[in-house]
Amino acid sequence: MNAERLAHFRECLESLATEIKAYLSSSKESAGVVELDTSIGRLSRMDAMQNQQMAMELRRRKKSQLLQITNALKRIDQGSYGQCGLCQQPISEDRLEAFPEIVTCVNCA
C-alpha cells in the first residue's frame, strides 16, 4: 500500500477513534446503575434496565472497536497495515474502506 493510501486510512482510523472516545465519555452516566426508584412502575423499571443493558453492550462493542483501531494504527507504524493477520495476504482496500480497523481478509473472516 502506498504512503498516500496509508495516510488516508490513518486519518479514517483517527477520526473513528475520536468519535468513539466522545461517545464513551458522553454515555458514561446512562450506563450507570439504574436506581431502584419505587415511584416508577415495574414495567418502566424493566424498560430502564433493558435500556441500560443495551447501552452497556454498545459501550462494550465500542470499547473493543477502539482497541482494534489502536492496534490498526500500530500496524500502520509497523508497516503491516492492510495485511491479513491470518494468511498474510493483502486485505482489499474496499474492505478496509468499510472497516479500516479490520484484521482479517474476506477469506479468513
Q: Tell me if 87 contacts Zn ion by CB under 5 A.
A: yes
Q: Tell me if 106 contacts Zn ion by CB under 5 A.
A: no
List Cβ neighbours of 48 (8 Å cut-off, separation of 6 or more): 34, 40
Among residues 86, 90, 92, 97, the one that binds Zn ion under rule CB under 5 A? 86
Q: Tell me if 49 contacts Zn ion by CB under 5 A.
A: no
Report the nearest approach of Zn ion to the CB of residue 96 (Å): 13
Q: What are phi and psi of 61, to 5 degrees?
A: -65, -45
Supply angle C-alpha 3, 9, 15, rounded to 5: 135
Instruction: Note the residues at the interface with Zn ion (CB under 5 A).
Output: 84, 86-87, 105, 108
